[in-house]
Structure 1
Amino acid sequence: MKDIAILITTFLRDNALFACVKSIRKLYPDVTIFVADTGHESRAKDDFCFDHKCELLKLAFDSGVCFAKNEGVDRIPDNYKYIFICEDDIVFTEETRLEVLREILEKRPQIGIVGGSLKKVKKYETKEQGYEATLRMENDTIYLEKVEKPQWRKLGDVRFFYCDIIPNVFLMRRDIW
């Protein structure tokens, strides 16, 4: 996993950030984590990031998630071939497998970004979150169409499908940014 860095964006949700980082460290203790923070400075956050080997990127207050992602990627050293981007409310589970996402990118050079499935967990219920969509242009109008029946493909044991829009949780090739 030396070629993957993780970028977490956060804004005023320290407890969510802490849970996110702990879940990552449980599965990937040695992966490099960068935290792009657009919230208030706090000693607790500084200490937590130091203790959990995260590089805290302190950005302008309330500068937005897009700025945090762009600035975060710009500050990650070029030696990382892949960057996994997520927000602070994501929790990794035993089903999270960054190596599978990387394998798709390595074996399919025409793909620049790959996302996984998101699950919303409530007290007694887990529900798949489907945000995938395709874009279609007709005349001068662009249409956004939710993927209802994906055309599944296989790469070894992994099933995937092509689409144009995925959730804000993904692994990307560094060179497409």
Structure 2
Amino acid sequence: MYADACVILNAKHGVMAVPTFPEGQAVTGQNQSALEISATSLVTLNEMLAQVTYSSAVYLLKMQDLVHFIFEDHEVMFPITIQKPSIPVLYDPGADINSMVTIVTKTFLRYKQLAVLIKSIREKYPDIQILIADDSLKIEKVEGHNVYQYTMPHAQGWFAGRNLLVSQVTSKYFLWVDDDFLFVKDTSIEKFVEIMEAVPNLDVLGGAVGGDQFYFTLEHEVGAEGEGGCLSRRKKQRHAPLDGYEDCVLVDGVVNYFLARTDAVRRVGFDPLLQRTAHSEFFMDGLGRLLVASCAGLVIGHQKHRSSRQYVRFRQNNQVKDKLQLHYFKNYLKCVAF
């Protein structure tokens, strides 16, 4: 038994206090940054420590304070996260697939392919909402039940169109499809939703396009002090199986056919500087912020390739050099391997 057991706590950005304690025990520095607690036994000291409260003395949305703890010859430091509470943002779960999911696609000079896609969607989902972002040279009006076409200035680009579309989604989930995809017999949005609802931590779930289940992991190595790191993409690599789903694996990025939680994607966004060829870049920005999986049984078809010369001319301007310069600066990198 200790005659006197004493602990000293020091904080930088907050104050501490012991609301109540037994008679005969001592607390000095109540509601100050330095708090000293003395007790007649370790048992009593631990009971008093269990009551210590910490209150931030500064206003910031999120930061950390390091509290210095001293007991006899022992010293430790432990972090306290100071964070302003946020309120929940909820989505109406909806009564059916039409209210839970919005189909979104970006189009550019491919109205024939887009018409085929929409027709195939309507054969399986007559009422689901379809959103289209269109930055074609000459806009052709796309009409249809519950189809909304958002026109953009000419050639604003791939990711600018994605941002526009996601900003207009009001459902809990959205399904991304390219404008030359094709809903086939085994295409099922319900299967996507079933998995996403069963795994609430999952943010993005990809499938297979024309039989190709493309997915990848990203490996980021932090560079030495004063220099950027290295990022590499590992095709067909996975982190682990998705528990409960034998055909699904946890990865960092998936093919251009995926169901996503609207709020999760909005937090990451799509960099509008990437105009022509971009996809993995979204998952690079979402690394560590999005939980991503890919499933073999979630399928969609791909139309036969038939792009115009004008489309190919824009597409071949692939911005590879500009993309690398952007990554080196924005992501603080010295090397990128796709």
Task: Normalising by structure 2, report the TM-score.
Answer: 0.45
Shift of 1:155: 3.9
SS of residue paired to 1:50: coil
Find the counterpart in structure 1 of residue 139 from structure 2.
Answer: 41
Contact 2:100 2:172 in 1 (8 A): yes
User: 1-side partners of 2:180 and 2:216: how far apart?
Assistant: 22
Residues in 2 aligned to 1:137 and 1:72: alpha-carbon distance in whole angstroms: 30
User: What percentage of residue pairs aligned between the two structures are identical?
Assistant: 27
Q: SS at 1:87's partner residue?
A: coil
Q: Which residue of 2 aligns with 1:68?
A: 161
Give the letter aligned to residue 162 of structure 2: K
Q: Partner of 2:186: helix, strand, or coil? A: coil
1:174: which partner in 2? 262
Q: Aligned pair 1:107/2:198, yes or no?
A: yes
Matched, 1:129 2:212: yes
The separation in 2 between residues aligned to 1:81 and 1:51, in whole angstroms, is 23
Structure showing greater Rg: 2
Secondary structure at the counterpart of residue 123 of structure 2: helix
Within 1, Cα distance between the matches of 2:187 and 2:127? 15
1:118-148 Cα deviation digits (max 9, x unpaired): 11xxxxxxxx324210012234322211125
1:92 to 163, 168, 183: 183
- Quote the Cα distance in structure 1 between the aligned partners of 2:126 and 2:244: 27
Aligned to 1:30: 127
Provide the secondary structure at the position in 1 that maps to 2:193. helix
SS at match of 2:252: coil
2:230 corresponds, among 141, 166, 169, to 141
- Give the match's secondary structure for 2:102: strand
Displacement of 1:19: 0.5
- Deviation of 1:151 after TM superposition, in Å, equals 5.0
Question: Once the 2 structures are TM-superposed, how far is the Cα of residue 105 of structure 1 from its aligned partner?
Answer: 1.3
Q: List alignment gaps of at least 5 residues for structure 2.
A: 1-96, 223-228, 267-338
Of stretches 8-17 and 32-41 in structure 1, the one that deviates more from structure 2 is 32-41
In structure 2, relative to structure 1, the CA distance for the partners of 1:93 and 1:154 (3 Å cut) is farther
Structure 1: state its 5+ residue gaps.
120-127
Q: Identify which of structures 1 and 2 has the higher relative contact order when contacts are C-alpha pairs closer than 8 Å and 6+ apart.
A: 1
Maintained 8 Å contact 1:104/1:155: no
Report how many aligned residue pairs link the two structures.
Answer: 161
Structure 2 contact 218–233 (Cα < 8 Å) conserved: yes
Q: 1:15 maps to which residue?
A: 112
The question of whether the paired residues in 1 share the 8 Å contact of 2:175 and 2:257 is answered with yes
Within 2, Cα distance between the matches of 1:150 and 1:91? 30
Residues 32-86 of structure 1: per-residue CA shift (max 9 Å, x gap): 11111111212xxx2xx3234311111111111111111111123x3x0001111
The amino acid across from 2:259 in the alignment is: L
* Runs of 4+ displaced beyond 3 Å: 148-156
- Per-residue CA shift, 1:87-142, capped at 9, x if unaligned? 201111111111111111111122101111111xxxxxxxx324210012234322
- Contact 2:175 / 2:258 at 8 angstroms: preserved in 1? yes
Matched to 1:137, the amino acid is: H
Work out whether residues 104 and 176 of structure 2, in 8 Å CA contact, stay in contact via their aligned partners in 1. Answer: yes
- Indicate the RMSD between aligned Cα atoms, in angstroms: 1.9
Specify whether residues 91 and 134 from structure 1 end up closer, same or farther in structure 2 by C-alpha distance, changes over 3 A only: same
1:82 match? 173
